[in-house]
């Protein structure tokens, strides 16, 4: 008899590419007890379907189409739809991951139905309330019955906000298992480079999509100009949001020197990352991933919630007139940085985080009347 037959299914709510990556193994380990809900926040097939395929995840049991809506509509409509679903399904727990609108919608719906809430990747803080994601993760943590924190720093963040000790568990980050499982071997990476006309150690892999970087013409212009001015090829899988803004702001001429391609799957992305000279991104997940495959990175952000890697695997710069010089300097010293990082352990633990998370989720369910 499965746990879901005695306690009800465990609802796993996701809506974006990072959530698929970090919840894939957890969902697999939950097996038949998992009820998978996709809110559709990422609805482009290159940002969703391909990741389900790569991680061999089964199709979602329920799909809620909130993609393309405003943040408020995504949270409001997602909460209403999940509230209705949970009232019928009566799950024994709800699992959310990270800081997306899907996280807040799932958290509020679980709370409204008095269902135990589990937050995977709890305790991350940028201390920057300009970030929508900061609000999402703080609210989720404070109504969770179980906060699964990746690092000691995340645990301390939760404690400092008055979250009870018995709600907090340090697990490590599921991204470590994901990278180790899907990283292509050296032969496959060589083929990947050949297909794309790239040379190992002689290109920059770039990706950026955050509103703070792409929704203002001046900011987007400074990033594109800085990338275009580098003296190594820049391979740029372009997020649909960024592509639209480049067209809206008439900045296509700045993108011409860059090797722009469609968004790529996770396996290819980390394979390219492992062979790159430097990664330049505004992604949260990339900051974690480089600590697993030991490549230097630059994050273009006003703030970061991954302080564990800032100053080691990651250097952080804000957009602006000095960005071009700063990026050029990082390219120049990237080989030296890579040598320094080669034997540095990842602060996100080993590959046991998914199993630790599932063990804690099952224990919570068993303890709940």
Using pLDDT thresholds of 50, 70 and 90, give the confidence band for residue 351.
Answer: very high
pLDDT at 6: 73
Q: What's the mean per-residue pLDDT of the chain?
A: 94
- Residue 178's H or E segment, with its range, is helix 175-182
Percent with pLDDT over 70 in the chain: 96
Task: Let me know: does 94 contact 117? Beta carbons within 8 Å.
Answer: yes
Task: Let me know: does 247 contact 220? Beta carbons within 8 Å.
Answer: no
What does the longest C-alpha to C-alpha distance in the chain come to?
Answer: 62
Q: Looking at residues 270-293, what average pLDDT do you find? A: 97
**The tokens 């000279």 sit on which residue?**
277
Say whether pLDDT at 44 is over 80.
no
209 is catalytic: yes
Using pLDDT thresholds of 50, 70 and 90, give the confidence band for residue 5.
Answer: low
Tell me phi and psi for residue 201, to 5 degrees: 75, 10
Using pLDDT thresholds of 50, 70 and 90, give the confidence band for residue 52.
Answer: confident
Instruction: Look at residues 183, 232, 208, 213 and name the one whose alpha carbon lies nearest to residue 332.
Output: 232
* Catalytic choice (42, 119, 209, 235): 209
Segment 304-338, tens digit of pLDDT = 999 999 999 999 999 999 999 999 999 999 999 99
Say whether pLDDT at 46 is over 50.
no
Residues with Cβ within 8 Å of residue 261, at least 6 apart in sequence: 196, 235, 236, 237, 238
Structure tokens given for 292: 């697993």
Percent with pLDDT over 90 in the chain: 88
Residues with Cβ within 8 Å of residue 237, at least 6 apart in sequence: 207, 261, 262, 263, 264, 269
pLDDT at 48: 55
Using pLDDT thresholds of 50, 70 and 90, give the confidence band for residue 187.
Answer: very high
Catalogue all structural domains in the chain, each as residue range(s) with its CATH number. Answer: 3-172+352-367 (3.40.50.2000), 185-341 (3.40.50.2000)
Segment 120-162, tens digit of pLDDT = 999 999 999 999 999 999 999 999 999 999 999 999 999 999 9
Task: Read off the pTM.
Answer: 0.94
Using pLDDT thresholds of 50, 70 and 90, give the confidence band for residue 65.
Answer: confident
pLDDT at 4: 59
Say whether pLDDT at 43 is over 60.
no
Using pLDDT thresholds of 50, 70 and 90, give the confidence band for residue 45.
Answer: very low
Residues with Cβ within 8 Å of residue 228, at least 6 apart in sequence: 234, 254, 255, 256, 257, 258
């Amino acid at each position: 008899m499965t746990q879901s037959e005695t306690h009800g299914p465990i609802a796993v709510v996701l809506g974006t590419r990072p959530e698929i990556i970090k919840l894939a193994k957890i969902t697999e380990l939950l097996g038949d007890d998992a009820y998978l809900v996709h809110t559709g926040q990422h609805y482009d097939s290159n940002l969703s379907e391909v990741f389900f395929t790569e991680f061999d995840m089964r199709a979602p049991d329920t799909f809620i189409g909130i993609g393309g809506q405003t943040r408020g509509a995504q949270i409001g409509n997602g909460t209403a739809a999940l509230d209705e679903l949970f009232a019928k399904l009566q799950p024994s727990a709800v699992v959310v991951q990270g800081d997306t609108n899907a996280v807040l919608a799932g958290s509020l719906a679980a709370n409204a139905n008095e269902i135990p809430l589990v937050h995977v990747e709890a305790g991350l803080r940028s201390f920057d309330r300009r970030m929508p994601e900061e609000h999402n993760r703080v609210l989720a943590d404070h109504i969770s019955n179980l906060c699964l924190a990746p690092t000691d720093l995340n645990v301390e963040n939760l404690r400092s906000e008055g979250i009870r000790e018995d709600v907090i568990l340090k697990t490590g980050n599921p991204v470590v298992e994901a990278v180790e499982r899907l990283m292509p071997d050296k032969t496959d990476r060589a083929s990947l480079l050949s297909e794309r006309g790239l040379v190992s150690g002689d290109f920059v892999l770039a990706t950026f999509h955050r509103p703070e970087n792409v929704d203002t013409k001046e900011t987007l212009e400074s990033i594109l100009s800085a990338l275009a001015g580098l003296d190594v090829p820049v391979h740029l899988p372009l997020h649909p949001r960024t592509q639209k803004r480049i067209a809206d702001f008439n900045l296509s001429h700045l993108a011409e020197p860059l090797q722009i391609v469609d968004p790529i799957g996770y396996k290819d992305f980390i394979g390219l990352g492992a062979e790159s000279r430097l990664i330049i991104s505004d992604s949260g997940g990339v900051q974690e991933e480089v600590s697993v495959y030991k490549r230097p990175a630059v994050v273009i952000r006003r703030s970061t919630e991954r302080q564990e890697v800032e100053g080691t695997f990651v250097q952080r710069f804000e957009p602006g007139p000095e960005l071009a010089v700063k990026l050029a300097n990082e390219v120049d010293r990237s080989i030296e940085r890579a040598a320094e990082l080669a034997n540095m352990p990842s602060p996100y633990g080993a590959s046991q985080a998914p199993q630790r998370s599932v063990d804690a989720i099952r224990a919570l369910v068993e303890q709940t009347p």
